[in-house]
Amino acid sequence: MAMLKESFTNSCCIAICLTSFMLFTGVSISFAQYRIGANYGQIANNLIPPGEVLKLIKSSSIGKVKLYNADPGILRTFAGSNIPIVVGIGNEIISSLTDPSVAQKWVDQNVAAYLPGTPISGIAVGNEVLTSNDAQLSSHLVPAMKNLHTALIYLGLDERLKVSTPHSLGVLSISYPPSAGSFRSDIATSAMKPVLDFLSRTGSAFMVNAYPFFAYKSNPTNVSLDYCLFRAATGITDPNTNLIYTNMLDAMVDAVYSAMDSLGYNGVGIVVSETGWPSSGDENETGASVENAMSYNRNLIAHLSSGKGTPLKPDASTEAFIFALFNENQKSGPSSERNYGLFTPSGLPVYDAGLVRSSPSAAGSPSSQAPESNSSHEAAWCIAKNETDASVLLSGINFACGVGGADCSAIQSSGSCYDPPTLASHASYAYNDYYQKRGRNPWNCDFDGTAVVSTTDPSYGSCQYLLKR
């Protein structure tokens, strides 16, 4: 990664100002204000049961869930949980819903039957229908959505639940620069315009599955990994708008905004219905690794939780559902498809994405193969490495002090650990507070490779570093 060219003083000022701004102004950092969702897929034969999944989610900062069906066991289990659920409808069911009576029956049996106990918040109709190369299915999509919405109106649920459909980014013919984003000519008028008209009329969001991983995998020579992983030291400027993009996901989302605007729909919001990064893949799947998956999802969470929108829509916070909750061993395709999970099928974290608030009491304990924790051994602290890129340190501070839940009051201007006012010093304090509170496991002290466990107490003067045994 290219080093920042700013002076050391300027880098420190940036870190201190941004950290203080987030801590003092309460920008949407906590999941109480802004929630990250996860896709709960079930193409596996070894997943923990829904009751254990619910405990796992409650032990984490995941605030909402999207299903690919309307599984009765899951919907019953999540009753009273206050975790919003978007239920899904498989592509194979869509055509039958062009019959209004079938749509009404589906809503009665799969939505109304579980309300108000289960907090169902929306219906996702199909998945990537308009890029399925099935003309008949595509023609049935909007009629099915309309019938489902009419069924909700009949039950007085149309304001509580919204109907939408997730799209692949393949619906775009142009995605770069973002300002030139446009839909494919073969679907723009015939298929996409009716979808957008429905979304605009019902106040529903456009759902898009956006994966920077695919862009990197297909062209690792010319696509920057740091840009994909929210680690770019410098941004890419859109030549038409002069807007600067520091990560690919924002660029993808803004390309969709531009495409909608080109058809006259600039008031429709966007929800990222799927995004993620695989922790493993085939030999030809460049970039699929635990390190990159952890970096992508941790930085994604920090980015979205900041409450900032995209460069084109800075006031419109982006919502996202991470793909996926679990590794799913029966998914077809390349091995990456079976390795997008935040958790193993038994409920253990695949890596530290910064989501787990406490150890899930019934979703399994760390396996014997996991790195040994320091929690009951010698005193240990997590500190920042020397000569680390300033932008990565800044990202680590913002993550630890934000969604990571570290208490960073001591490194504010009036705090006992404010001096010396350097990135490395502030990062060490923030990293350690996070590390101690997360269980003092080796994976809690990584921060994109910028942290290291030390057995030397970094405390000095009145600045005391947290230590838990």
Q: Active-site residues: which are they? A: 128, 274
Q: Which tokens belong to 179?
A: 């300002």
Q: Is residue 188 helix, strand or coil?
A: helix
* Residues 6+ away with beta carbon under 8 Å from 394: 11, 14, 15, 18, 423
Looking at the chain, how many residues does it have? 469
- Nearest residue to 19 via CA among 302, 208, 277: 302
Residue 385: DSSP 8-state:
P
Which residues make beta-bridge pairs with 419?
none
DSSP H helix total and E strand total for the chain: 14, 15
Q: What is the DSSP string of 227-289?
A: HHTT--SS-EE-TTT--EESSHHHHHHHHHHHHHHHTT--S--EEEEEE---S---TT-TT-S
**What DSSP character marks residue 118?**
S
Rounded to an integer, what distance in angstroms lies between the CA atom of residue 416 and that of residue 86? 45
364, 440 contact by CB (below 8 A): no
Q: Provide DSSP, 303-357.
A: HHHTT---SSSTTSPPEEEES-SB--TT--SSGGGG---SB-TTS-BSS--S-BS
CB hemisphere CA count around 22 (13 angstroms): 29
DSSP category for residue 34: S
- 321, 268 Cβ separation under 8 angstroms: no
Q: Which residues pair with 38 in a beta bridge?
A: 65, 322
d(CA 321, CA 127): 14
| Cis peptide leading into residue 116 (ω within 30°) | yes
CA dist., res. 47 & res. 28, Å (int): 33
Q: CA–CA separation, 305 vs 294, rounded Å?
A: 16
Q: Is 173 helix (H, G, I), strand (E, B) or coil?
A: strand
Lookup: tokens for 200: 């605009």
Three-class SS of residue 460?
Answer: strand
